Amino acid sequence: MPVKYIPYYPNTVEGQAILDNITRTQRVLRYRENDKVYDRIKRGMPFYEVEPIETVGEPSENLVIRGECISACAYLKEQGIKVDLVYIDPPFASGADYAKKVFLRKNPKIADNIAVAKQEMDMEELKAFEEKMYGDIWKKEDYLNWMYENLIAIKSIMNDNGSIYFHIDLNIGHYAKILMDEVFVGYEFNEIVWVCGLMGFGDIYPKAHETIFVYRKADSYFHAPYRRGYSERITNALQKDSEGWYYTRGRETSGGGNNLKTYICNNQKLSKEEAIAEANKNRPQSAWSVWIGKDDIANSYGDYGVGTYAYTEKENVGYATQKPEALLQRVISASSDKEMVVADFFGGSGVTSKVANDLGRKFIHVDIGINSIQTVRDRLIEAKANFQILEIKDGVSLFRNPQQTMDKLKMLIPGLLQGLPGISKFWFGAVIHSKEGTIPVYVPNLLNSQEKVLDIPTINIIINQELQNLEVNVKKVIVYYIDIDDQKELEKFIKENNATEIEVALKDLKNLLHDVVIEDIIDFKTTQINDGFETEIKKFISDRLIQKIGEFNQKGNLQSIAKGKKFNPIIISEEGLELIELIALDGENTEGQWHSTTEIKIDKLGYVITNGVKSKNFWDGKIISDKKPLRIKVRNISGDETIKVIE
């Protein structure tokens, strides 16, 4: 349960920005269930307990927050933290689930591997399976209601003259623009078209651009972005005047308009080659609103081909939907000055924070998934940034991320069956009990933050609608919750309003999950050596991964039998060291916040990164530290972390 509720942006309810209370919106954006949003907005942003997890480097104001956008905003508002620039690239309602490829590492205990290690590994040879990161399948109404709340939460912590860049695409962007207009009334609007390259297949207008909506105040910081020269295509568009001089229209001129020719280089007569060379120099432009992925946003992009964003291999951290640093460089340098606070509430791979730090801004990264937090952490350590990691106890990401938690629940609820006749889709499934018969089970959809808190309206729907609609004879239903408004109040409400004989049992999902998440086992030995301490990992057992790989092998086997092909299963060695991604030692504390005195990360090719510094060495199964380690932390390749105190 939230500790308290923090009001959204003042005057939101009474003022302009509620979906239903301005005439324009009543006509344009009237969709099912938008009234539901009222109560939650009046109540405020849920403020949960926040736990400091780790401090990296020197104390600083930079934050990496694991939690939902809305609860992170509640925390920031409560702390009096304001931001100057927001860039968000939330789920696009794309209708897809995003997964991460999980690569097995080399096992240093297997000599063969070390021998081959001298050669570059072929990516195709790497063994990998997939883990879901986040789902992006929405009903339009749900998405808009959810996004609306996120937007007013974000506005609540923006400085009055702050700017916001909202990255979106054709799936839901046009509706999102209307929400933005409502929430950011009084702001100036610009639209940037980012030609990201071919992102869609098919014959009919495949997607090749995304849109960034910019809302800023007249007095917001703005420094016209530099445009990195012209591509061949654009130089071809340079025009010749009657005297044979090359010019472009309306560039570096005052007044603008077509009648103003701007001769390149102060009216010097230039040959075409000189004109091109001039045009290719970095020069400030007025806010040019079409950013062309390959040619303009960064000249150095490799063309990764259809269906991927064009970032360089160097900055590729393997996060689906990762955006290029050059895009963020332009956004951040245009709309923030040094020392200003730049925030991204759907931070993903951490591109915003990384670039903000490089450019001398302060940063706040928020994301709901553990994989995002680990990716940005490691990326920022490589960038030598100082920051603090916080975790909001909002209960949504119990198992790595909400998507995986939902999948896990199907297996965790003992005896759960789905798709039984007579049990509607409202129920997650049902359990058949020898004495109590069929017990329908309700589970909130963790992917939809609006269902997260079990409150009287939800209970009301259950007892006055769903219990009546059941087509099977039922004595009991189980209602799981992740977060509950006021349990006593709800139980009283059920007692007073349940007209059926059916018992409604309320159960906490967290207990269910906590009971089954088994920690990984680390078998290690620390010994003192001449110049410090050596910790050797002898064995690593991860039941979660063994189970996952077992499922992968089984599925792969069945698929290849069906196709008549040979399948090479993933086999884990007895030592299990190929399941390790990161090992860190804390030489300062045995409890509380983590402080890495030294750490090594093993990248997917098996190379070791020590304290953020990359090498071409392979891991030898050991980690050396100057200080005596008091705790060890091991992160497995799917992102689960296990911490052990060293006796």
Ligand X SMILES: C[S@@+](CC[C@H](N)C(=O)[O-])C[C@H]1O[C@@H](n2cnc3c(N)ncnc32)[C@H](O)[C@@H]1O
Q: Which residues bind ligand X (CB under 6 A)?
A: 68-69, 89-91, 134, 319, 321-323, 345-346, 348-349, 351, 366-369, 372, 449
Q: Report in angstroms how near the CB of residue 304 gets to ligand X at its nearest.
A: 14
**Which of 248/322 has CB closer to ligand X?**
322
Of 131 and 520, which has the nearer Cβ to ligand X? 131
In angstroms, what is the minimal distance from the CB of 88 to ligand X?
8
In the complex, minimum distance from the CB of residue 434 to ligand X, in angstroms, rounded to a whole number? 40
Q: What is the DSSP letter of 439?
A: E
Q: What are phi and psi of 556, to 5 degrees?
A: -60, -40
2 phi and psi angles, rounded to 5 deg: -60, 150
Of the candidates 602, 626, 636, the one whose C-alpha atom is nearest the C-alpha of residue 616 is 602
Contacts 24+ apart (CB under 8 A), 18-23: 18/182, 19/148, 19/179, 19/182, 22/182
Q: Least distance in Å: CB of 67 to ligand X?
A: 7
Of the two residues 183 and 549, which places its CB atom closer to ligand X in the complex?
A: 183
CB atoms within 10 A of CB 443: 22
Is the Cβ of residue 168 or residue 585 nearer to ligand X in the bound state? 168
Min. distance of Cβ 72 from ligand X in angstroms? 7
Cβ–Cβ under 8 Å, residues 64 and 377: yes
Q: How far is the CB of 165 from ligand X (least distance, A)?
A: 11
Q: Which residue has the tokens 């929430």?
A: 183
In the complex, the smallest distance separating the C-beta of residue 177 from ligand X, rounded to whole angstroms, is 18
Rounded to a whole number of angstroms, the minimum distance from the CB of residue 96 to ligand X is 11
Residue whose CB is less far from ligand X, 315 or 485:
315
- In the three-class reduction of DSSP (H, G, I as helix; E, B as strand; rest coil), residue 556 is classed as helix
Q: Which residues pair with 216 in a beta bridge?
A: 188
CB of 376 to ligand X, least distance (A): 9
Contact yes or no for 632/524 (Cβ under 8 A): yes
User: Which CB atom, from 367 or from 586, has the smaller least distance to ligand X?
Assistant: 367
Q: What is the largest CA-CA distance in the chain?
A: 97
Nearer to ligand X, 346 or 594 (CB): 346
Shortest distance, CB of residue 578 to ligand X, whole angstroms? 26
Half-sphere exposure of 272 (CA within 13 A, CB side): 9
- Report CA Rg, the chain: 28
User: Closest CB to ligand X among 375 and 596?
Assistant: 375
Cβ proximity to ligand X, 251 vs 400, nearer residue: 400
Nearer to ligand X, 366 or 385 (CB): 366
Q: Is 13 helix (H, G, I), strand (E, B) or coil?
A: coil
Helices (H), 157-303: 173-183, 232-236, 272-279
CB atoms closer than 10 angstroms to residue 418? 12
- Closest to ligand X by CB, 388 vs 535, is 388
Cβ of residue 397: shortest distance to ligand X, in angstroms?
9
Query: Which has the closest alpha carbon to 372: 599, 58, 68?
Result: 68
Q: Which residue in the shown chain puts its C-beta closest to ligand X?
A: 348
Neighbours of 644 (CB within 10 A): 14
* CB of residue 386 to ligand X, shortest distance in Å: 21
Alpha helices of 336-369 — where are they, by DSSP H?
351-358
Q: Note whether 480 and 441 are within 8 A (CB).
A: yes
**Element housing 240 (H / E):** strand 239-240
Rounded Cα distance, 155 and 215, in Å: 11
DSSP secondary structure letter of residue 152: H
Q: CA–CA separation, 544 vs 552, rounded Å?
A: 12
Q: Smaller CB distance to ligand X: residue 56 or 370?
A: 370
What distance in Å separates the CA atoms of residue 55 and residue 74, rounded to the nearest whole number? 21
Residues in a beta bridge with 209: none
